[in-house]
């Protein structure tokens, strides 16, 4: 509905998913805009002196929060329809970013780059988000410092200021391939004086999407999608219109769900090239994946084969698909090995799968899955966003009923997850604590 920003947050903490398992998924699902692109592009709108129209914004709580943060900084945010917004940052002025909202999400770190670019200084909190072990932002800070900012982190707050009011270009080598540092430095460099070169940059599809967004508003960013990105700073960005790419991980989650339940699902509005790493692994399990121009058809195999997986930066297998694939491999005959190549602690969901009968041993960053024993419904928790999606897949494959708590994590990143799954035939409902039926959800209206 058109009109100014009105954010409604459900009190998800009181809700659970109840899933009756053993049903194959069949039908078609439409993929929404990419979360990890949207959560960068919304803060990047702060760099633009004019109106940005952004289409294909996913309706998830992470984007709601970032839009609220921007409006608290003085931006005018209007919904044209449910997935199209206009952001006008011409009247924003420097102030502290709203701490309570900032510390709830990981992507709030992009405010450091966009505020430094726009105002020459930034005051934010350290970011929140899913807990996969230590998630430092030292490379973001290294990049901003190289561009002439003085940055200090004290008591959970980040203070940054460009020495002469404007950042300058620099050559920055990232010690580790980092999505967040690459995008944050790219944003800050857009309005810096001179040329910035990011070496050992991340190459994820959302990096290219952010560069395309910035370029469509007048920036000069080259090489996004390779490991060297060159940004020639400009004095000003102008308004414009941009459409966000489809979500690689949302698409991959439905692909795995189709394969795990043994169903047949056409996953629509995708860029098949972005899904190649997931499609290739699914094919190894015996699943059929057919690619079309902007869709993939996934047909589950009668028997799933074991595979080994190592998560890596793009174009490797994404860490954000690891819990979903780990769940699928519980159903494959034989022993599968998953090596987590990005995070120290991304196997917390394994404890939840064990409650459902899974046989998995974890040693540091390696999980060994003895598959083929089947899963049984149980009360489990969504430990984080993708772990929560994995629990939903497990529940749909298990015999009996699964109840998932802490679903607010899942709602951070999946638009209309329950509605889309129901449409594919899943028996999933949202139940309020302690057992009120679907439809009685409590709504907290903030604006
Ligand atoms: C982003 C994604 C997240 C995904 C991850 C890896 C968003 C909002 N989140 O997270 O969904 O799982 O990419 O694809 O886009 N690191 C450092 N110092 C830094 C930055 C990162 O040591 O300054 C380390 C991290 O701890 C991690 C690795 O580098 O081990 C990669 O992290 P990074 O790519 O930065 O992940 P995020 O941007 O936080």
Atom of ligand 1 nearest to the CA of 318: 14
Q: What global pTM score does this model have?
A: 0.93
- Residue closest by Cα to atom 32 of ligand 1: 178
Within 13 Å, how many C-alpha atoms sit on residue 14's CB side? Answer: 15
Residue 399 and residue 374 in contact, taking contact as beta carbons nearer than 8 Å: yes
Catalytic residues: 130
- Whether the pLDDT of residue 132 is over 80: the answer is no
- Residue closest by Cα to atom 35 of ligand 1: 178
CA 217-218-223 angle, 5° bins: 100
Is the minimum distance from the CB of 142 to ligand 1 under 6 angstroms?
A: no
Domain residue limits, the chain: 13-32+246-434, 35-243
- Ligand 1 centroid to residue 135 C-alpha, Å: 7
Percent of the chain at pLDDT > 90 equals: 82
Q: Categorize the per-residue pLDDT at 441 as very low, low, confident or very high, splitting at 50, 70 and 90.
A: very low
Q: Which tokens go with 242?
A: 């941009």
Is the minimum distance from the CB of 107 to ligand 1 under 6 angstroms?
A: yes
Model pLDDT for residues 197-219, shown as the tens digit of each residue: 999 999 999 999 999 999 999 99
Which residues have CB under 8 Å from 328's CB, separation 6+?
256, 259, 260, 285, 304, 393
Same fold, 13-32+246-434 and 35-243: yes
Model pLDDT for residues 385-398, shown as the tens digit of each residue: 999 999 999 999 99
pLDDT of residue 434: 56
- Whether the pLDDT of residue 111 is over 50: the answer is yes
Per CATH, the number for 35-243 is 3.65.10.10
Atom of ligand 1 nearest to the CA of 206: 15
Region 174-203: mean pLDDT is 97
Atom of ligand 1 nearest to the CA of 344: 30
Is the minimum distance from the CB of 136 to ligand 1 under 6 angstroms?
A: yes
What does DSSP assign to residue 107?
Answer: G
- Ligand 1 centroid to residue 318 C-alpha, Å: 11
Q: Pick 232 or 72 by higher pLDDT.
A: 232
pLDDT of residue 124: 86
CA 89 to chain CA centroid, Å, is: 24
Per CATH, the number for 13-32+246-434 is 3.65.10.10
- Residue closest by Cα to atom 20 of ligand 1: 137
Q: Pick 27 or 131 by higher pLDDT.
A: 27
Q: Categorize the per-residue pLDDT at 120 as very low, low, confident or very high, splitting at 50, 70 and 90.
A: very high
Closest listed residue to residue 318, CA positions, set 280, 368, 361, 369: 280
Is the minimum distance from the CB of 184 to ligand 1 under 6 angstroms?
A: no
The CB density around residue 231, as the number of other CB atoms within 10 Å, is 27
Is the minimum distance from the CB of 174 to ligand 1 under 6 angstroms?
A: no
């Amino acid at each position: 509905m058109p009109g100014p920003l009105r954010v409604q947050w459900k009190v998800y903490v009181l809700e659970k998913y109840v899933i009756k398992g053993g049903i194959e998924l069949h039908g078609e699902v439409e993929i929404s805009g990419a979360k990890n692109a949207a959560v960068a592009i919304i803060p990047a709108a702060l760099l633009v002196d004019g109106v940005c129209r952004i289409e294909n914004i996913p309706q998830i709580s992470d984007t709601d929060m970032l839009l609220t943060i921007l409006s608290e900084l003085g931006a005018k945010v209007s919904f044209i329809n449910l997935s199209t917004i206009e952001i006008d940052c011409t009247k924003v002025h420097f102030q502290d970013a709203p701490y309570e909202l900032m510390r709830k999400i990981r992507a709030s770190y992009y405010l450091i780059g966009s505020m430094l670019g726009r105002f020459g200084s930034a005051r934010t909190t350290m970011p929140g988000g899913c807990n996969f072990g230590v998630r430092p932002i030292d490379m973001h800070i290294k990049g901003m410092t190289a561009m002439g900012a003085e940055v200090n982190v004290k008591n959970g707050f980040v203070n940054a200021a460009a020495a002469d009011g404007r950042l300058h270009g620099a050559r920055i080598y990232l010690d580790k391939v980092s999505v967040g540092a690459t995008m944050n430095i790219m944003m800050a460099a857009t309005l810096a004086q001179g040329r910035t070169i990011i070496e050992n940059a991340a190459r994820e599809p959302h990096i290219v999407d952010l560069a395309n967004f910035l370029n469509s508003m007048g920036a000069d960013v080259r090489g996004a999608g390779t490991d060297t990105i060159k940004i020639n700073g400009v004095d000003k960005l102008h308004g414009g219109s941009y459409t966000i790419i489809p979500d690689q991980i949302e698409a991959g989650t439905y692909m795995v769900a189709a394969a795990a339940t043994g169903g047949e699902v056409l996953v629509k509005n995708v860029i098949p090239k972005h899904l190649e790493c997931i499609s290739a692994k699914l094919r190894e399990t015996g699943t059929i994946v057919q690619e079309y121009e902007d869709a993939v058809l996934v047909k589950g195999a009668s028997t799933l084969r074991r595979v080994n997986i190592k998560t890596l930066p793009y174009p490797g297998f994404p860490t954000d698909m690891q819990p979903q694939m780990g769940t699928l491999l519980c159903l494959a005959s034989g022993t599968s090995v998953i090596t987590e190549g990005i995070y120290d602690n991304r196997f917390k969901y394994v404890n939840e799968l064990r409650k459902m009968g899974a046989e998995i041993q974890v040693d540091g960053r390696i999980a060994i899955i003895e598959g083929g024993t089947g899963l049984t419904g149980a009360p489990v928790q969504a430990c984080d966003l993708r772990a929560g999606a994995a629990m939903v897949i497990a529940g749909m494959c298990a015999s009996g009923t699964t109840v998932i708590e802490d679903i607010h994590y899942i709602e951070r990143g999946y638009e209309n997850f329950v509605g889309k799954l129901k449409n594919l035939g899943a028996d999933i409902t949202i139940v309020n604590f302690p057992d009120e039926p679907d439809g009685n959800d409590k709504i907290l209206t903030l604006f």
